[in-house]
Amino acid sequence: MEPSHAYDDIINLQHPVSKNHPQMTMLERAAQFAPFAALTGYGAKIDETGRLTDEKRLLDEEQKLALNETLNAISRQISGKPAVSVSWFVPDGSKEGGRTEHREGNVRRIDSLQGTLMLTDGTVIPFEDLYALELREETTE
């Protein structure tokens, strides 16, 4: 292929400078070519997809029986707002899975009809999400 000489007459001329418009800074020029978010919210979706969650563990019959015995012991002492150490599964609101929470507190109420344990700080824990429940000697309030 032969070299083209079509622009030889202007190739060495000075760059024209406008008298009416001030020259842009390098930063302003770069901003013209910066990528834009064509898909609004796409980045947030990608971040959410990459966020890890835990799978809910299933308890065996022995663990369920131990939880039931501890719940019965707590219900016998409910008027004294017994101190407990509790671990449970918290489902994620936006994707499959969740996380394990652990807290020490005092039990305000056990609702057998709703199947929930309520702590004095207002935390409500469904029985089906309980992993571990331990009755403690001292009070945490």
- pLDDT tens digit string along 62-111? 999 999 999 999 999 999 999 999 999 999 988 889 999 999 999 999 99
Other residues' Cβ atoms within 10 Å of the Cβ of residue 130: 22
Q: Which amino acid appears at position 103 of this protein? A: R
Would you place residue 59 in the very low, low, confident or very high pLDDT band (cuts 50, 70, 90)?
very high
Domains of the chain: 61-135 (2.30.30)
Q: State how far the alpha carbon of 100 is from the alpha carbons of 22, 57, 138, in Å.
A: 60, 10, 24
- pLDDT tens digit string along 15-48? 888 999 888 899 988 888 777 767 778 888 888 8
State how far the Cα of 29 lies from the Cα of 140, in Å rounded to an integer: 62
As a dihedral over the C-alpha atoms of residue 101, residue 105, residue 106, residue 112, rounded to 10 degrees, the angle is: 0
Number of H helices, E strands in the chain: 3, 5
pLDDT for residue 138: 67
- Above 60 in pLDDT, residue 141? no
State how far the Cα of 81 lies from the Cα of 16, in Å rounded to an integer: 83
